[in-house]
């Protein structure tokens, strides 16, 4: 029941001629301050449950496991404390919602004995909205991990208290909806890497080269050998009968490859590979023939 409707129902019961016939508690009395303290507690408790619902349920098992392995020492400690509780996702959800609903429903009963019905409605809506919803959820959205870790003891106690109701409902939800513990799919990882790639030039932790390597590794299983190959017309190669003079050495250095294909007669007739590091002892002014340098043979496999 909404707090406003609950207040109206309680007010009808306590009006003269109502079923309870109760009167307002005198302002300033010990009982009035006791009711005010209980009302404040209910508002804060409802806010805590609302914030924890948003903060804890927004932390997936994958996020917590990542923080356990790669977070800061404080994050590792917090994630370790929260993980056992969050693993019981639906039981935790039912517990937090049940406690929040109980506090919200009990609040109008106390406010209606302290103020008239209109003032009670205004105060209930104001305090519930500000301190029971907006502020707690805003804090837990930003500091959900820290808040959840500090209040994990309270959550465990509430889960024990609400166990007879929360456990069966949680099991039914587990059976109907399953667990939300799936890892990132390949497309999601690629999108995440793409986002980091855009931030690489803005001081991000990953450089552009690192994101390119990661993205390429994710594409390996979907890429064919043909896509990874370079057309032979576009490759740089040397004739086995050519000379390693200044011009040839300059072209090799400009290309920047560690291996250069060597052909005989036609560029399509590749006979081996020339290791660039083997040219360290070759002097360009001697115009040493390519055939005089060690050429590594290319393994060939007969087609079936």
Nearest to 7 by CA among 159, 173, 127: 127
Could you tell me the domains of the chain? 3-177 (no CATH), 186-226 (no CATH), 230-296 (3.10.580.10)
User: pLDDT tens digits for 101-141?
Assistant: 898 888 888 887 777 777 777 877 887 888 878 888 888 88
Burial of residue 248, with CB atoms counted within 10 A of its CB: 0-12 exposed, 13-18 middle, 19 or more buried:
buried
pLDDT of residue 23: 62
Q: pLDDT tens-digit profile of 137-190?
A: 888 888 888 888 888 999 999 999 999 999 999 889 888 887 665 566 777 777
What is the rounded end-to-end Cα distance, in angstroms, of the chain?
76
What is the model's pLDDT at position 86? 87
Please give the pLDDT value at position 54. 86
Are the CB atoms for 282 and 238 separated by under 8 Å? no
More reliable by pLDDT, 207 or 87: 87
């Amino acid at each position: 029941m909404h707090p406003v409707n609950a207040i109206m129902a309680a007010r009808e019961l306590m009006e003269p001629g109502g079923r309870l016939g109760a009167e307002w508690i005198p302002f300033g009395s010990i009982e009035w301050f006791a009711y005010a303290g209980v009302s404040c507690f209910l508002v804060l408790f409802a806010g805590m449950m609302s914030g924890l619902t948003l903060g804890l349920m927004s932390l997936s098992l994958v996020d917590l496991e990542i923080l356990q392995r790669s977070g800061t020492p404080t994050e590792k400690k917090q994630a370790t404390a929260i993980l056992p509780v969050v693993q019981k996702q639906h039981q935790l959800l039912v517990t937090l919602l049940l406690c929040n609903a109980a506090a919200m429903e009990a609040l109008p009963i106390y406010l209606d004995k302290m103020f008239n019905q209109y003032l009670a409605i205004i105060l209930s809506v104001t305090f519930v909205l500000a301190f029971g919803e907006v502020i707690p959820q805003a804090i837990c959205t930003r500091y959900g991990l820290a808040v959840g870790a500090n209040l994990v003891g309270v959550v465990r106690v509430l889960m024990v208290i609400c166990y007879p109701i929360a456990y069966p409902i949680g099991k039914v939800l587990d059976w109907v909806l399953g667990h939300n513990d799936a890892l990132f799919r390949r497309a999601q990882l690629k999108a995440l890497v793409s986002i980091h790639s855009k931030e690489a030039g803005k001081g991000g932790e990953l450089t552009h080269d690192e994101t390119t390597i990661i993205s390429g590794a994710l594409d390996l299983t979907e890429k064919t050998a043909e896509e990874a190959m370079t057309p032979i017309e576009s490759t740089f190669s040397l004739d086995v009968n050519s000379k390693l003079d200044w011009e040839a050495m300059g072209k090799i250095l400009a290309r920047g490859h560690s291996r250069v294909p060597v052909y005989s007669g036609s560029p399509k007739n590749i006979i081996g590979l020339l290791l660039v590091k083997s040219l360290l002892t070759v002097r360009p002014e001697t115009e040493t023939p390519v055939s005089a340098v060690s050429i590594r043979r290319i393994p060939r496999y007969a087609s079936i």
